[in-house]
Amino acid sequence: MKAMQSYEGAIARALFSQAEIAAAIERLAQAIVRDHRRMPLMLVGVLKGALYVAADLARAISAIPDGPSEIGVDYMCVSSYGNASRSSGEVRLLKDLTEPVAGRNVVIVEDIVDNGLTLEYLRALLGERHPASLRACVLFDKPYHRTVQVPVEYVGLRAPDEFVVGYGLDYQELFRNLPYLAQLRPEVFTDG
Ligand code: IMP
């Protein structure tokens, strides 16, 4: 990536503000609570992109009265993009969960779904471990180029058919800490 003074010069436009993202997380939390009242819930955040969404969702769920009886949060780390802005189509498990999922009500928390391969991989991997229930929650959906039709029970916001960054999503490991979702200027991309 070309050297730049700040993120501002790299951003073409904001797509969803911090407030819109917070409202989407609140809606997702309400929907998850409706399905897990007085039940133990385990959120599985998928690193690195779901770093913020899993944490914010866990807090939003626990603020809702009469919600799950307990909320566990664990993370796994997968890689599908490397440093490029195009999917390699190959999913690698870089870090597994530290907790068993057998017999638990699991919600996979993803930042974004594009071709669907990452979520399909995770659903298959965790499904083999015999959870009591297994659902998926995705903050941003890009439904335009699915390679596989993977079920997503909870969808936050529909992102445009663009490469997006911010709120956990990166380009070459930058922009994750941007508090809103943005589209980059074309000249920022150095990988074609
Ligand atoms: P999929 O396997 O194509 O569904 O992609 C899932 C993963 O690719 C996400 O968890 C992200 O890490 C990454 N990804 C997909 N689209 C974007 C994007 O627009 N910006 C940044 N990362 C993305």
| pLDDT tens-digit readout, 157-180 | 999 999 999 999 999 999 999 999
DSSP 177: T
Q: In this structure, which residue's CA is closest to atom 17 in ligand 1?
A: 163
- CB-based burial label for 164 (10 Å; 0-12, 13-18, 19+): buried
pLDDT of residue 192: 61
Structure pTM? Answer: 0.94
Gap between the Cα atoms of 174 and 3, Å rounded: 12
Average pLDDT for 10-20:
97
Ligand 1 center from residue 89 Cα (angstroms): 10
Q: What is the pLDDT of residues 116-168, one digit of tens each?
A: 999 999 999 999 999 999 999 999 999 999 999 999 999 999 999 999 999 99
2 band by pLDDT with thresholds 50, 70 and 90: very low
Task: Map residue 50 onto helix, strand or coil.
Answer: coil
Tell me the best of 15, 16, 111 to mutate to test the pocket of ligand 1, counting ligand atoms within 8 Å of each CB and taking the most: 111
Average pLDDT for 82-96:
75
pLDDT at 30 over 60: yes
Catalytic residue among 66, 96, 111, 114: 114
Sheet of strand 40-47, all strands in order from the earlier edge strand to the far edge: 92-95, 70-79, 40-47, 105-113, 133-141, 154-158
3 band by pLDDT with thresholds 50, 70 and 90: very low
8 band by pLDDT with thresholds 50, 70 and 90: confident
pLDDT of residue 86: 59
